[in-house]
Amino acid sequence: MNDAKLNSLLNNSIQSVQQVGKARAQKLNKLGIKTIGDLITYYPRDYEDRTREKKVSELADRDECAVILKVLSDVTLNRPRRNLRIYKAVAGDDSGLVTLTWFNQDYIRDKIVKNKTYVFFGKVKRLGSYIEMTNPVYEEAHSERKKTTGIQPVYPLTAGITQTYLRMIQRNALDIVTGKLTEILPDELRKQFSLAEINFSLEKIHFPTSFEEKERARKRLVFEELLMLQLGLLQLKNNQVTVSGIKMEEKPLVNRFISQLPFKLTKAQQRVYSEIEKDMTGEKQMNRLIQGDVGSGKTIVAVLAILLTVLNGYQAVFMVPTEILAEQHYQSILPLLENYDINIVLLTGSVSKKEKEKIKEGIKNNEYQIIIGTHALLQEDVDFARLGLVVTDEQHRFGVKQRAILASRSNPHILVMTATPIPRTLSLILYGDLDISIIDELPPERKPVKTYAVDESMRNRVYKFIKKTVQEGRQAYIICPLVEESDEIEAEAAASLANKLKEGDLRGLSIGLVHGKMKWKEKEKVMNDFSKGNIQVLVSTTVVEVGVNVPNACLMVVENAERFGLAQLHQLRGRVGRGRHQSYCILFCQSKSDIARKRMEIMTKYNDGFKISEKDMELRGPGDIFGVRQHGLPDFKIANLYEDMEILKEVQKACEDIIKNQKLSDREDYKRLKEHLLLMFEDKLSEVALN
């Protein structure tokens, strides 16, 4: 079958699969399954092993396996309640007896016949010599076995779609396409990395006859998925080489500005700025990521790039994930540039509609040279007169797509900043389209934050410590527990904690409160009061997690620290240790679980984000690699960045070779791969400016 025909086959509606009608199709849509192609790439999340077979005497509690049994009794019925009918039978082999139980399955009475032999598969309950199987599936022992053997796929489901049904239509769909799929990976690549063929892989990922087969299928599919993304990103980067950028001139005024700063730039800051300057004064568009641990001083580097842009007569956008951060950057940049004739404007979601129109008009007419704002900037159609630079701070809150949206307007230089320290292998797949600069040095005189994990018994001492800190003229944060999925409950909890402290243990101190449910004006006032020192203790939810900079605050207390991941704890702790004073972080941990204990240990032992991320990867955490989930990665259909690290490394080796030897453009056997790549990226990353 040729490619075009096959494509149309895969794009056929699932209703062309046997047993899929209109009603079921609608339910499948909810799982993101619209076409045959969607269905066969809807991969199992797990497998049930029905290949194991045991004798009764070998059965252990909680086993899941098949047993061949002769039914020794009639099926009896028991009705303990209305709507509950329990069918039971006793069966056995030459080594022992098993009680079989089914709930509400009325047909059992006719199907299970005394003195006949069946294979039963199900979960075993064993209490001493009493053995029971509940709701086992069964087949007559001498028939062809389908249900009680083999490895059965287990899919994520939705209402109205059962496991059995999904398995059946998956089978039907595969019967349509298997054998007809064309291989896109060149033989050379498949040989080098031992990758299974595509028809085999798709068949066996759903219906393997052994786990070894499943693994081979999986490896190939994971490899392909990661390869496409990685190659795509690298291609994008290569394309950017040919995108001519806005060529700027070096400005001596920037150097004067640097020499007038209240501090001396670190060597790392200087190096990173010179990399930026080289990009921006060069021929091509800059696409650069600055990676630097919390507190390493990324903001000032961005300000230098912004200044260079403005001095060249262009506008610069500084985009941040929260309003608090936008306001803070605005407040700190304003005085730095007050002697320059530059207009700076703040544009966030809370600006009134009328004002927003005015600001947008001003941006369009080049009245503003620096625009600081939140996502609002992205969501609305802001026209720029002369956009020269887009900086996105704390990139882990923005996705690949979001960052591409602004870039597509013209082709401004792009600078992305992140504090998430991730190993190179991962940053390549997360940011493969960007050049990377690393600020690997903290400003001098920074003392590591002393961190302690404590339990309830220390509470009074912690309050004393807060009072002492305040008496010495410093300030403190108290971070409230994370409440998943509910900003409201979280806000309430924070408010009640603040009240309790005001009237109780911290009476007499000036206590402020900030949370996500507050109106922007209130938030702004509280944050201003805190940075001016009018508030001594700030009770807060994680709204202060990113970027907030109040150097006089040198104590952070985190309630229910066990609810936070390491990435988040590290970010939070980054709010202190920003000034000359010795800073402290106290983690209240109520959990005695292994993982919580280990996390606390890591936090108390290490201050370096890279180190913590490494440790985090060793721990695995709940499936989240040091905040990778927050990166706005495309959802992988099958790959899992943690588990598949080894495959990812192979993929990167393959990519290097493909690009270095220009195989996509030169080689006939890579043609299919290239076409596939173009198709995929046109579709998925169409916002990215390639022209």
Which residues of the chain form contacts with Mg ion (CB under 5 A)?
547
**Shortest distance (Å) from residue 296 CB to ligand ADP:** 4
> Looking at 44-52, 169-177, 296-304, 377-385, which segment touches ligand ADP (CB under 6 A)?
296-304
> Under the criterion CB under 6 A, does residue 289 sit at the interface with ligand ADP?
no
| From ligand ADP, Mg ion, none, interface partner of 294 (C-beta below 5 to 8 A by class) | ligand ADP
At a CB cut-off of 8 Å and minimum separation 6, what does 250 contact?
A: 277, 281, 308
How would you classify the pairing of strands 584-588 and 450-454?
parallel
At a CB cut-off of 8 Å and minimum separation 6, what does 468 contact?
A: none
> Under the criterion CB under 6 A, does residue 245 sit at the interface with ligand ADP?
no
Nearer to ligand ADP, 231 or 320 (CB): 320
| From Mg ion, ligand ADP, none, interface partner of 573 (C-beta below 5 to 8 A by class) | none
Give 315-356 as a DSSP string: EEEEE-SSHHHHHHHHHHHHHHTTTS---EEEE-TTS-HHHH
> Looking at 100-108, 239-247, 293-301, 334-342, which segment touches ligand ADP (CB under 6 A)?
293-301
Of residues 264-283, those binding ligand ADP (CB under 6 A)? 264-266, 269
> Under the criterion CB under 6 A, does residue 388 sit at the interface with ligand ADP?
no
User: Among residues 296, 315, 427, 475, which is the contact residue for ligand ADP, using CB under 6 A?
Assistant: 296
**Shortest distance (Å) from residue 277 CB to ligand ADP:** 17
Helix, strand, coil percentages in the chain from 3-state DSSP, rounded to 5? 45, 20, 35
| From ligand ADP, Mg ion, none, interface partner of 570 (C-beta below 5 to 8 A by class) | none
**Shortest distance (Å) from residue 603 CB to ligand ADP:** 18
Give 66-118 as a DSSP string: EEEEEE-S--EEEEEETTEEEEEEEEEETTEEEEEEEES-TTHHHHS-TT-EE
User: Among residues 263, 267, 355, 357, which is the contact residue for ligand ADP, using CB under 6 A?
Assistant: 263
Binding mask 431-470 toward ligand ADP (x if CB under 6 A, else -) reads ------------x---------------------------
> Looking at 260-268, 271-279, 421-429, 456-464, which segment touches ligand ADP (CB under 6 A)?
260-268
Query: Which of left, alpha, beta for 297 (phi over 0: left; psi -120 to 50: alpha)?
Result: left
**Shortest distance (Å) from residue 632 CB to Mg ion:** 18
498's enclosing H/E stretch is: helix 487-503
> Under the criterion CB under 6 A, does residue 297 sit at the interface with ligand ADP?
yes
> Looking at 93-101, 288-296, 311-319, 664-672, which segment touches ligand ADP (CB under 6 A)?
288-296
307: exposed, middle or buried (C-beta count within 10 Å: 0-12, 13-18, 19+)? buried
> Under the criterion CB under 6 A, does residue 10 sit at the interface with ligand ADP?
no
**Shortest distance (Å) from residue 326 CB to Mg ion:** 12
The Cα 35–Cα 633 span in angstroms is 24
Q: Which residue has the tokens 């039971």?
A: 88
Dihedral of the CA atoms 529, 531, 537, 542 (nearest 10)?
100
Let me know how long the chain is: 691
**Shortest distance (Å) from residue 406 CB to ligand ADP:** 20
Nearer to ligand ADP, 482 or 548 (CB): 548
How would you classify the pairing of strands 46-49 and 151-154?
antiparallel
Residue with CB nearest ligand ADP?
297
**Shortest distance (Å) from residue 437 CB to ligand ADP:** 13
> Under the criterion CB under 6 A, does residue 416 sit at the interface with ligand ADP?
no
In angstroms, how far is CA 115 from the centroid of its own chain?
A: 56
The amino acid present at 640, given as its one-letter code, is N
Using DSSP's 3-state secondary structure scheme, residue 203 falls into helix
* Contact indicator for 364, 376 with CB cutoff of 8 Å: no
**Shortest distance (Å) from residue 402 CB to ligand ADP:** 20
Nearer to ligand ADP, 282 or 443 (CB): 443
**Shortest distance (Å) from residue 442 CB to ligand ADP:** 8
Candidates 600, 607, 563, 612; CA nearest to 453 is 600
**Shortest distance (Å) from residue 415 CB to ligand ADP:** 13
> Looking at 52-60, 82-90, 294-302, 531-539, which segment touches ligand ADP (CB under 6 A)?
294-302
Tokens of 239: 């394309």
Neighbours of 682 (CB within 10 A): 11
The amino acid present at 678, given as its one-letter code, is L
In the Cβ-directed half-sphere of 306, how many Cα atoms lie within 13 Å? 30
> Looking at 86-94, 134-142, 211-219, 295-303, which segment touches ligand ADP (CB under 6 A)?
295-303
* Contact indicator for 564, 503 with CB cutoff of 8 Å: no
Tokens of 227: 């390869």
The Cα 209–Cα 219 span in angstroms is 16
Nearer to ligand ADP, 206 or 575 (CB): 575
Binding mask 542-581 toward ligand ADP (x if CB under 6 A, else -) reads -----x-x-x--------------------------x---
Nearer to ligand ADP, 136 or 292 (CB): 292
User: Among residues 299, 420, 536, 571, which is the contact residue for ligand ADP, using CB under 6 A?
Assistant: 299
**Shortest distance (Å) from residue 439 CB to ligand ADP:** 7
Nearer to ligand ADP, 395 or 652 (CB): 395
Q: Which residue has the tokens 């630097």?
A: 292
**Shortest distance (Å) from residue 520 CB to Mg ion:** 20
Nearer to ligand ADP, 265 or 482 (CB): 265
- Give the sign of the dihedral formed by CA 215, CA 216, CA 221, CA 227: positive
Using DSSP's 3-state secondary structure scheme, residue 157 falls into coil
The Cα 195–Cα 218 span in angstroms is 9
The Cα 554–Cα 558 span in angstroms is 13
**How many residues line the site for ligand ADP (CB under 6 A)?**
19
The 8-class DSSP code of residue 544 comes to G
Nearer to ligand ADP, 419 or 647 (CB): 419
Residues at the interface with ligand ADP (CB under 6 A): 263-266, 269, 292, 294-300, 419, 443, 547, 549, 551, 578
